[in-house]
């Protein structure tokens, strides 16, 4: 199992990016959250099976049609199994 914190920069606010992350989380079965940051970036924490989390990250790198992902930073954290669902904040 794996837990990561992802920070995404680019045109990722006001373009449906958080909903895209939420929908993909449901599709992949990962748990955690997505939220906008004050610096126009988006932050995610995601938990799940190693391979599934890696595949989820690949989808986030692409983003929805109106988004423009310029950079993605992935920080691996200690897996704790603390999330029961995926939330949008």
Asked whether the beta carbons of 86 and 31 are under 8 A apart, the reply is: yes
* Phi and psi angles of residue 59, each rounded to the nearest 5 degrees, phi first: -70, -40
Neighbours of 64 (CB within 10 A): 17
The whole-angstrom separation of Cα 15 and Cα 44 is 16
* Residue 1, both tokens: 């199992």
**Active-site annotation, residues:** 18, 36
């Amino acid at each position: 199992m794996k837990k990561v914190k992802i920070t995404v920069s680019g045109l990722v606010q006001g373009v449906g990016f958080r909903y895209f992350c939420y929908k993909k989380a449901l599709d992949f079965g990962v748990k955690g959250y997505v939220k906008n940051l004050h610096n126009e970036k988006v932050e995610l924490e995601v938990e799940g099976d190693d391979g599934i989390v890696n595949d989820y990250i690949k989808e986030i790198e692409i983003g929805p049609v109106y988004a423009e992902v310029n950079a993605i930073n992935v920080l691996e954290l200690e897996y704790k199994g603390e999330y029961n669902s995926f939330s949008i904040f």
